[in-house]
Structure 1
Amino acid sequence: MRKNTLSKHYHSGKKRNFFKKRTFIFFIGLILGIAIVVSAYLTSVHFSTDESCMVCHVHPHVEDSWKLSTHVNNGSGVKVSCVDCHLPPQNDTWDHYTAKLKLGLKDVWGYMTKDSADFDWDMKSELDHAVKYIPNQSCVKCHQNLFPEGITSDGITAHLYYEENEKKLNLQCISCHLDVGHYNPNYTHSKLTGIPGVTFGVTIDPSMYFKEPTKVNAFEDFEEQIPGTAVTVAMKAIPGGTFQMGSTAKEPFRKEDEGPVRTVTVSPFFMAEIETSWDQYWAFYAQTMSEGRIPPEDVYANNSNPEVDAISGPTPPFGFPDQGWGGGERPAITMTHYAAETFCQWLSQKTGKKYRLPTEAEWEYAARGGTETPYFFPGSPKDYSNLGFWRKIFDAKTDSISPYVIYTNNSRNRTQEPSVVRANPFGLKNMSGNVMEYCADKYDEKAYSKWAEQVTDPLVTEGEEWVVRGGNYASDASELRVAARDYTKHDTWLKTDPQQPKSIWWYSDIRGVGFRVVCEPASAIEQ
Structure 2
Amino acid sequence: MSEEAEYQKLQGENRKPSGNSSGSNPPPIKRRQFLIYAGLGGTGLVTTVVFSQIFQVQPKLLTFEFETVTVDKTGKIVNQENHQAKYFKEDLGNGITLDMVQIPGGSFMMGSPTSEKGWSESESPQHQVNVPGFSMGKFVVTQEQYQQIMGNNPSRFSGAKRPVEQVSWNDAVEFCQKLSQQTGREYRLPSEAEWEYACRGGTTTPFHFGETITTDLANYNGTYTYASEPKGKYLERTTDVGSFPPNAFGLYDMHGNVWEWCQDDWHNNYIDAPKDGSVWTSRSGNSKVLRGGSSFNVPLYCRSASRTFSYLVEVDIYNSIGFRVVCVVGRT
How far did residue 490 of structure 1 move?
5.1
Provide the C-alpha distance between the structure 2 equivalents of 1:437 and 1:463, rounded to a whole number of angstroms.
21
Amino acid at match of 2:155: D
Provide the C-alpha distance between the structure 1 equivalents of 2:312 and 2:180, rounded to a whole number of angstroms.
26
How far did residue 333 of structure 1 move?
0.5
Say whether 1:514 aligns with 2:322.
yes
Of structures 1 and 2, the one scoring higher in RCO (CA 8 A, sep 6+) is: 2
Provide the C-alpha distance between the structure 2 equivalents of 1:407 and 1:440, rounded to a whole number of angstroms.
24
Question: Retained in 2: the 8 A contact 1:443–1:463?
Answer: no
Provide the C-alpha distance between the structure 2 equivalents of 1:284 and 1:440, rounded to a whole number of angstroms.
19
**Which residue is 1:474 aligned to?**
296
Amino acid at match of 1:442: D
List gaps (5 residues or longer) in structure 1. 1-211, 290-316, 381-399, 494-506
Q: Deviations over 1:124-167 (max 9, x none)?
A: xxxxxxxxxxxxxxxxxxxxxxxxxxxxxxxxxxxxxxxxxxxx
Amino acid at match of 1:245: M
Superposed counterparts of 1:219-368, under 5 Å: 220-226=86-92, 228-286=93-151, 321-323=154-156, 325-368=157-200
Question: Retained in 2: the 8 A contact 1:403–1:420?
Answer: no
Say whether 1:487 aligns with 2:309.
yes
Aligned-residue CA RMSD in angstroms?
A: 2.4
How far did residue 218 of structure 1 move?
5.5
**Which residue is 2:18 aligned to?**
none
Provide the C-alpha distance between the structure 1 equivalents of 2:162 and 2:183, rounded to a whole number of angstroms.
23
**Which residue is 2:242 aligned to?**
419
Look at both structures and tell me which one has the larger radius of gyration over its CA atoms. 1
SS in 2 for 1:367: helix
Provide the C-alpha distance between the structure 2 equivalents of 1:218 and 1:282, rounded to a whole number of angstroms.
26
How far did residue 216 of structure 1 move?
1.1
How far did residue 274 of structure 1 move?
0.5
**Which residue is 2:253 aligned to?**
430
Provide the C-alpha distance between the structure 2 equivalents of 1:511 and 1:261, rounded to a whole number of angstroms.
31
**Which residue is 1:119 aligned to?**
none
**Which residue is 2:215 aligned to?**
402
How far did residue 361 of structure 1 move?
0.2
Provide the C-alpha distance between the structure 1 equivalents of 2:88 and 2:192, rounded to a whole number of angstroms.
23
Provide the C-alpha distance between the structure 1 equivalents of 2:327 and 2:150, rounded to a whole number of angstroms.
20
Provide the C-alpha distance between the structure 1 equivalents of 2:316 and 2:296, rounded to a whole number of angstroms.
17
How far did residue 451 of structure 1 move?
3.4
How far did residue 450 of structure 1 move?
1.5
How far did residue 379 of structure 1 move?
2.0
Large movers: runs of 4+ above 3 Å: 212-215, 217-220
How far did residue 367 of structure 1 move?
0.2
Provide the C-alpha distance between the structure 1 equivalents of 2:182 and 2:234, rounded to a whole number of angstroms.
34
Q: Deviations over 1:237-266 (max 9, x none)?
A: 100000000011111110001000010011
Say whether 1:458 aligns with 2:278.
yes
TM score, norm. by length of structure 2: 0.68
Selected match of 2:265 from 434, 438, 442: 442
Question: Retained in 2: the 8 A contact 1:258–1:483?
Answer: yes
SS in 2 for 1:437: strand
Q: CA 1:240–1:215 in structure 2 vs 1: closer, same or farther (change >3 Å)?
A: closer
List gaps (5 residues or longer) in structure 2. 1-50, 63-85, 223-232
How far did residue 349 of structure 1 move?
0.8
Provide the C-alpha distance between the structure 1 equivalents of 2:98 and 2:61, rounded to a whole number of angstroms.
17
Provide the C-alpha distance between the structure 2 equivalents of 1:463 and 1:478, rounded to a whole number of angstroms.
29
Amino acid at match of 1:406: N
- Higher relative helix content: 1
What is the number of residues matched between the two proteins?
Answer: 243
- Higher relative strand content: 2
